[in-house]
């Protein structure tokens, strides 16, 4: 099995920390390049980092973004308290700017995007966040990657000491940890873990999947 070289966006976030952990542990991942606005604070022989400040323009670092097999795009924000223009900028504009650059530089790349359960593929529904994520998914799927997959988890339980950067999300996950562990076992449609998301991304990047959109139960079954 050939080893994979991976680019990871959002490695400092809750989902990204989980994906990074699994990549560093997986013998099939040769290297991880984390691109973020702040460093992860981690040291590992497989990990290299670029701290970047303009997530709409990658021209200054383009020469470092070629030669990768997969991108795990875990950068993203909650829409709570945000207007549509701001949420669209942070969700659609940033994701598509990175993806357009990466697809041009890495035609053999598999791109995996973390979106969310309830994403609105019609782009017409009543929920602002779901429409924006739907448009983002739809346009990512049009880019000339080798393949693109949309991961739509519902709840994600952070494991192995990982924490959300959003204080209220962290508080919920800590307070409800025993219930979430149970839910993960009995209702995979509604709950996954940072470990399962990371493992599934690696497996889907390596082996592909039978459909481009993976719901929580698909992520847990991969």
Ligand X SMILES: NC(=O)c1ccc[n+]([C@@H]2O[C@H](COP(=O)([O-])OP(=O)(O)OC[C@H]3O[C@@H](n4cnc5c(N)ncnc54)[C@H](OP(=O)(O)O)[C@@H]3O)[C@@H](O)[C@H]2O)c1
Would you say 86 or 108 has its CB closer to ligand X?
A: 86
Residue 198 binds ligand X, judged by CB under 6 A? no
Q: How far is the CB of 206 from ligand X (least distance, A)?
A: 21
Rule CB under 6 A: choose which of 29, 98, 116, 220 binds ligand X.
Answer: 116
Task: Please state the closest distance from residue 153 (CB atom) to ligand X, in A.
Answer: 4
Q: How many CB atoms lie within 10 A of CB 167?
A: 9
Map the footprint of ligand X across residues 15-44, applying CB under 6 A.
15-16, 36-38
Q: Which one of 41-49, 59-67, 159-167, 182-190 is the stretch in contact with ligand X (CB under 6 A)?
A: 159-167
First vs last C-alpha separation in the chain: 18
Q: Which residue from 21, 26, 145, 155 is in contact with ligand X, where contact means CB under 6 A?
A: 155
Stretch that binds ligand X, among 57-65, 70-78, 80-88, 120-128 (CB under 6 A): 70-78
- The pair of structure tokens assigned to 156 is 């994600």
What three-state secondary structure class fits 110? strand
Q: Report the C-alpha gap between 93 and 158 in whole angstroms.
A: 27
CA distances 55 to 6, 50, 186, Å, are 18, 12, 39
Q: Which stretch binds ligand X (CB under 6 A): 5-13, 57-65, 141-149, 207-215?
A: 5-13
Distance CA 128, CA 130 (A): 5
Is 61 one of the binding residues for ligand X (CB under 6 A)? no
Instruction: Let me know if 142 is exposed, middle or buried by CB neighbors in 10 A (0-12, 13-18, 19+).
Output: exposed
DSSP3 helix / strand / coil % (the chain, rounded to 5)? 40, 20, 40
Looking at 8-16, 22-30, 182-190, 206-214, which segment touches ligand X (CB under 6 A)? 8-16
Least CB distance to ligand X at residue 11 (A): 6
């Amino acid at each position: 099995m050939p080893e994979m070289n991976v680019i990871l966006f959002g490695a400092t976030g809750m989902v990204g920390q989980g994906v990074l952990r699994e990549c560093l542990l997986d013998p099939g991942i040769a290297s991880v390049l984390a691109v973020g606005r702040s460093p992860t604070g981690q040291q590992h022989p497989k990990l290299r980092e670029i701290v970047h400040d303009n997530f709409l323009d990658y021209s200054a670092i383009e020469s470092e973004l070629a030669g990768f097999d997969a991108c795990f795009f875990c950068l993203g924000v909650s829409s709570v308290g945000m207007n549509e223009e701001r949420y669209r900028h942070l969700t659609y504009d940033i994701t598509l700017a990175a993806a357009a650059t990466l697809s041009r530089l890495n035609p053999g790349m598999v791109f995996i995007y973390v979106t969310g359960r309830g994403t609105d593929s019609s782009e017409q529904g009543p929920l602002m966040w779901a429409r924006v994520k739907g448009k983002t998914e739809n346009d990512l799927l049009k880019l000339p990657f080798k393949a693109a997959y949309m991961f739509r988890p519902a709840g994600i339980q952070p494991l192995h000491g990982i924490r959300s950067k959003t204080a209220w999300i962290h508080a919920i996950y800590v307070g409800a940890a025993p219930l979430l562990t149970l839910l993960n076992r009995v209702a995979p449609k509604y709950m996954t873990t940072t470990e399962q998301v990371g493992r599934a991304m690696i497996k889907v990047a390596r082996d592909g999947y039978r459909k481009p959109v993976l719901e929580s139960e698909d992520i847990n079954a991969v």
